[in-house]
Amino acid sequence: MTQTRLDDDGLSLDRIGIYAILLGLVVFYLLPLEAGIVTSFKTMRAYGQTAPFLPALGGFTVAQWSSAVDQLSAGLFNSVLMAVPATVFSALLGSMTAYGLTNIDWRGQVGVYVLFVAGIFVPYQAVLVPLKRFWSQWAPLHIWLEPIWNLTGLGTDYAGLLALTITHIAYGIPICTLLFRSYYKSVSDEMVEAARLDGASIRRIYRRIILPLSVPMFAVTLIYQFTQIWNDLLFALIIVGPGDASVITQSLIGIGQSEAVTNFPLQMAAAFVTALPTLLVYIFFGEQFAKGVTA
């Protein structure tokens, strides 16, 4: 009788059990996030007197966030200056490359595509030494572009930031090409053939047909690339190094630490300030991201 009544109401014991398990998994997954947010609004004294996931009503403060923003502002500016063009250009060049490998027939395109795929699996650690030598000896941007650094007043440290931007563009092209090529395989060949019969050039077909249809996949690649580039630390340490051009992940190193004590609330606030731009990207492009994934 109880089972029947539950079924009539749209619930069953099995479904209640599933909901309970899912709720438990959500709590388990979000508890560290909640603990980090709560900790970031505590004073050091309140942090030592309360559990990490419990708010301290008597020790609530936003000073940790203010201090984090002050200490990370320069790195935040440099990361935006580097990540935005690196993301846009890697996605755009990946789209063009995928178009050339999908909608244009030419000899050797399969071999070139294999090379692009192989580039995805080259680990960062394998290229650190030649990459460092390339930018310091073979392509010294701090010397080649010295008039620009003097004219803008940025200083030669920003040559490393430009080198880092170019590196992320080059490293992002293979994965962007793979994503766009898979997407372009689903594009109707009839539209492209009709445009060719009408006399449209390769550039015109891409600009007028392929590019407008690529908006959902651009959302996917932009979100993916921006997240990867924004969170990168290894290339930044090797190419940029310490200085005025340090990105935000470098600025996080050592924040809130001293010989006497570690300021965990400040570290939590700094971590959330660093993660905020990627969260905003997901919020603004989330709908297009879902369309691109399911396309």
In order along the chain (295 residues), what is the average pLDDT of each group of 10 residues?
A: 49 87 93 92 89 82 94 95 96 94 84 88 90 93 86 85 96 93 84 84 89 89 94 94 91 85 92 93 80 69
Burial of 125 (0-12, 13-18, 19+ CB in 10 A): exposed
Which tokens belong to 14? 């099995």
The continuous run of DSSP H or E covering 112 comes out as: helix 109-120
Name the architecture of domain 66-294: Orthogonal Bundle (1.10)
For the chain, where are the E strands, in sequence order?
none
Confidence (pLDDT) at 10: 60
pTM for the model stands at 0.87
| pLDDT score, position 9 | 53
Q: How far is the CA of 105 from the CAs of 77, 100, 202, 214, in angstroms?
A: 43, 8, 12, 20
Residue with tokens 């080259």: 122
**Nearest by Cα to 167 from 269, 72, 238:** 238
Q: Any idea what DSSP says for residue 262?
A: B
User: Dihedrals φ, ψ of 116, to 5°?
Assistant: -65, -45
